[in-house]
């Protein structure tokens, strides 16, 4: 049982779990209603989602040990999606 607790994927899973709890708490407690606060909250939640996606792609999909072109392509895809979703969110509010 100790081997599971010391495994790097267990630590990554705990970070993902903590990020999920933080983003849920932050998103559900933002009741200020002002445009600036909502914008900051939205971008912060998108950033947390970006980090979570990168951790899943790197560690659980094992892109960490893939060729460098694939790692760069995955990172570029994530940044492109983050930029598009953030810009759509910014334009909509």
Instruction: State pTM to two decimals.
Output: 0.81
Q: What is the pLDDT of residues 14-68, one digit of tens each?
A: 999 999 999 998 888 766 666 556 778 888 888 999 999 999 999 999 899 999 9
Residue 7's pLDDT is: 83
Residue 20's pLDDT is: 95
Residue 5's pLDDT is: 75
Other beta carbons within 10 Å of 19: 15
Helix axis angle, 68-92 to 35-55, nearest 10°: 160
Residue 27's pLDDT is: 80
């Amino acid at each position: 049982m100790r081997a599971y607790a010391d495994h790097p994927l267990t630590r990554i899973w705990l970070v993902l779990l903590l990020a999920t709890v933080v983003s849920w708490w932050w998103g559900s407690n933002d009741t200020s209603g002002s445009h600036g606060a909502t914008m900051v909250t939205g971008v912060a939640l998108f950033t947390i989602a970006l980090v979570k996606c990168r951790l899943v792609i790197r560690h659980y999909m094992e892109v960490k040990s893939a060729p460098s072109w694939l790692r760069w392509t995955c990172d570029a895809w994530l940044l492109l999606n983050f930029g598009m979703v953030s810009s759509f969110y910014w334009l909509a509010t």
